A and B are shown apart, each in its own frame.
Chain A
Amino acid sequence: MNDRPSPVIADTTASPAISFPWRALLTALALCSLLLIVILASLSLGARDMSSHHVVDLLMAPDSSADSVVIWQMRLPRTVLGLLVGAALGLAGTLIQALTRNPLADPGLLGINSGAAFAVVVGLSLFGIDDAGVRLAAALGGSAFCAVLVYILGGSSNGKNQHTRLVLAGVAISVSLGACTGIITLFDSAVFDSYRFWAVGALNSPPPGLYSVLLPVIGLGAVIALSLGGKLNALALGDDLALALGAQPVQVRALSFLAITLLCGSATAAAGPIGFVGLVVPHALRLLVGQDWRWIMWLSPLAGAALVLVSDILGRLIVLPGELEVGIVCALIGTPVLLGLIIHFSRRSR
C-alpha cells in the first residue's frame, strides 16, 4: 500500500520464463496425486464403517443395501460438491489476491460472504422460506449484488490508491451488511436457528438440482479466471506498464471481479461460507511455485479442492458417530497453516 516497490514486483521481473518450471510441474503432479488419494478417501471414510474392499465392490456394482445408498447418495454427491466448491474457492482466492495485491485478501473481502448471508437471512425472515433451492438463488443474487456494489464504490477507479479503495469498500460493505444480518438474526431467532447451520458451511446436504446450476456457473468463472493469469502478471507491474504490455487494467479488473463473483458466490450459495481456503491456497502455492500468477491460477483449483475434501473427511471422523461441518474444520486446520506460513515468511525476509 506504500510507494516502495513490493517484493511481488521484484520477483515477477525475475520471472522463471527462462528456465523450465520444474517446481511448478512437480507441484502439479503432487497435487494431482494428492487429489486422487483424497477422492478415494472421501468415498471410503465416514461415520459408517466400511472396508475399502466393500466400497470398491459397491462402486462397481451398486445394490439396494444401506451401505450402497450411503456411498451413492451421500458420499459421492458430497465428494463432487467438495471438489467443485474447493476448486472455486481456491481460484477465487487467487484472483482476489492478485487483483488487490494484498496477501491478506480473501474472497470474503468483496462482501460476497456477507452479501450471500444477508440475502439468505432476508429470504428466511421475510418469506419464511427454508428451502435449499431458494437459499441457493438468494445467496447467488446477494453475493452478485454485493460484488457489484463494491466494484462501483472502489474497483472502477484508476490510480495508485485503487487497491486501498477496493479493500476499504469491501470491508465497509461487509461490515454494514453483517450488522444488518446480525439485527435480523438477533430479533428473529427462528431465522437464526436455520441460518446458523447454513453459516458454518456444510457439504452433506446439497439441495436438489444443485449441479445443473453450479457446474455452468463455476465453469464460466474458471474459464475467465484461467485466461487472466498472464494479464494479472502484467498488472502486477503497475497500471502503466501493464497498459504498455497490452493488458487493459480496467478490463482485467472487471473480468476478475466477474470471475470472483461467479466462483465464490456459487460456492458460498451451495455450501455456505467456507473461510480460509481462498486465503491459504494462493499463499501456499506462492511459496511452492513462485510468483507467476499463470501457474498459481492453474494449480489453485487442485489445491483448493484437496483442502476442502481433507477438511470434510476430518470432520466426518473426529466426533464419531456425529460429524463436524466442513467450514468449522477448514477454519480449524486453516489457522495453524496460515500461522505457519506467516512465521515462515517472516523468517525468510529477515
Chain B
Amino acid sequence: MLDRRTFLRATSAAMALTAAAPALSLATVMEPASEQWPRRVNHLLGKTLIPHAPRRVVAISTGQLDGLLTLGLVPVGVTRVDNHELTPGYLQKAFPEQREALAQITDLGGRGSPDIETLAQLAPDLILLNKTALKFNGYQLYSRIAPTVVTRGYGANWRHDFLIIANALGRAHEAHNWLARLDSDMQRFASSQGSRPPTVSFLFASGPRLRLMCRGSLVGGLSDALNLARPHAQQFKGNSLDISPERLDMADADWLFYADQGSGLASLKKQPLWNYLEAVRNRRAIRIDADAFYLNAGPSACRHIVDTLTDTVRPI
C-alpha cells in the first residue's frame, strides 16, 4: 500500500526537480553566447543596458550581497536591516578571506530608505535591488544613477535571482558551476534517504512570538528537495505560520531546528510545552542562525542551510 508520507515525499521530490528545471532553462535563454560588453540584461522590470563588466556594485538587499560574495565580488555599498550588522554573521563566516574588504563596504542606511546621496557619490556602475525594496518611481531614480537590475526577492526565488545577478556581472558560467555543485550535493543526500525519511521542523522565536517556517519558505523548499519529511501537523504550503504557545507541539519533529531573535531564546525555553517536545527530550532540537535560515535568501545562505541539514539529520 502506498502510504501518504511516501506519496507526498515522492511528489515533493518531483516538484523540486521540476522547479529547478525551468529556472535553469530560463537562465540559459538569458545567457548571451559570450561575455561581451555592452550587453542587455533581462530582469524583472525589463532590459537594462550594461556598458562594461561592473566593478563598483551597490546591493540594496542582503540576498544580493550574498549572491555577489558567492561570485567573488565585494560590493561598494549595501543597506542594512534595522538592528542587524551590515554584513550578516553567516556571510562573514562563509567568506573569512574577505574580512577586510567587507569592513570597507559603505553603509547606505536602512533598507526602507537608502541614503540616495551617499549612493550616488559612490559612483556605482551597477545597482541591484529587490522589487520589494522599490518605492514609487524608485526604478527611474536608481536608473538615473547607474544601470539598475531588479530581482524578485523572497526565499523561493533565490535561484532565479542569483542567475540574474550573475548574468549582469557576466559571471553566469561561474554561477551555473556553483549551482551544479550544490545540486549534486543535495541529490546525493536526497537519494540516500530511505523509504521513511526523518521529519524536520523549523521554528523561529522572534521575541515572544513563535513562527513555523513552512514548505513555501527558503528552508522549507530546500528540506523538501533534500527528501526530508515534514511532521503531520505541518503538511501545509505557504511561507510561515504564527502559532500560539499553546500549540508549540505543532513544531515537534524528529529533528527540530530553531532560531531566535531578541528575547526569543529566553521566552522559548520558558514555554511550559518546550520540554514536552520529543525533539527536545531526545536532544534533537538544534539552535541555528536566523540570518542564514530565515531572514535572507541567497546562494550562500542556501549552502549554509544544506550543509547544516546534511551534517545534522540522521535517520532515527
Contacts and interface: CB of A to CB of B under 8 A. Distances in A.
B241 A322 contact: yes
Nearest to B210: A322
Interface in B257-288: 261-263, 266-267, 270, 272-273, 276
B207 interface: yes
Contacts of B209: 197
A190 B85 CA distance: 11
B104 interface: no
Nearest to A46: B246
B93 interface: no
A70 interface: yes
B247 interface: yes
B262 A322 contact: no
B88 interface: no
Given A197-B209, A205-B267, A192 B82 contact: yes
A194 B245 contact: no
A193 B247 CA distance: 23
A74 B207 contact: no
A201 to B, nearest CB: 12
A70 B243 contact: no
Given A47-B246, A192-B83, A321-B250, A66 B273 contact: yes
A202 B244 CA distance: 13
A131 B244 CA distance: 21
B243 A66 contact: no
B243 A47 contact: yes
Contacts of B206: 193
A73 B247 CA distance: 14
B243 A322 contact: yes
Contacts of B242: 319, 321-323
B262 to A, nearest CB: 4
A288 interface: no
Given A189-B83, A193-B207, A205-B267, A322 B261 contact: no
Contacts of B247: 47-48, 321
14 contacts: A47-B247, A48-B244, A66-B249, A130-B262, A190-B83, A193-B83, A193-B262, A194-B263, A197-B207, A321-B241, A321-B242, A322-B242, A322-B243, A323-B244
Interface of A: 46-48, 66, 69-70, 73-75, 130-131, 189-190, 192-194, 196-197, 202, 204-205, 316, 319-323
Interface residues of B, number: 24
Interface in B198-224: 206-209
Contacts of B246: 46-48, 70, 74-75, 316
Contacts of A74: 245-246, 272
Nearest to B207: A197
- Do most interface residues of chain B lie in helix, strand or loop, or is the interface mixed? mixed
B83 A47 contact: no
B244 A322 contact: yes
Interface string B152-166: 000000000000000
A273 B273 CA distance: 27
A190 B244 contact: no
A75 B82 CA distance: 34
Contact of B208 (A204, A320, A321): A204
A165 to B, nearest CB: 39
A319 B241 CA distance: 10
Interface string B73-92: 00000000011000000000
Contacts of B270: 205
Nearest to A73: B272
Contacts of A194: 207, 262-263
Contacts of A321: 241-244, 247, 250
A244 B80 CA distance: 66
B200 to A, nearest CB: 19
Given A189-B83, A321-B250, A69 B276 contact: yes
A335 B262 CA distance: 31
Interface string B11-27: 00000000000000000
Nearest to A193: B262
B244 A69 contact: no
A190 B82 CA distance: 8
Contacts of A196: 207
A46 B247 CA distance: 10
A75 B245 CA distance: 11
Contacts of B276: 66, 69
Nearest to A135: B263
Contacts of B82: 189, 192
A320 B247 CA distance: 10
Given A316-B244, A321-B247, A322-B243, A197 B272 contact: no
A319 B243 CA distance: 9
Nearest to B233: A321
A38 to B, nearest CB: 18
B259 to A, nearest CB: 14
Given A46-B246, A319-B242, A323-B245, 10 more contacts: A47-B244, A69-B273, A70-B272, A74-B272, A193-B262, A197-B263, A316-B246, A321-B244, A322-B244, A323-B244
A162 B110 CA distance: 46
A319 B211 CA distance: 13
Interface string B226-258: 000000000000000111111101100000000
Contacts of B267: 205
B298 to A, nearest CB: 22
A202 B250 CA distance: 22
A46 B273 CA distance: 15
A191 to B, nearest CB: 9
Contacts of B249: 66
B84 to A, nearest CB: 8
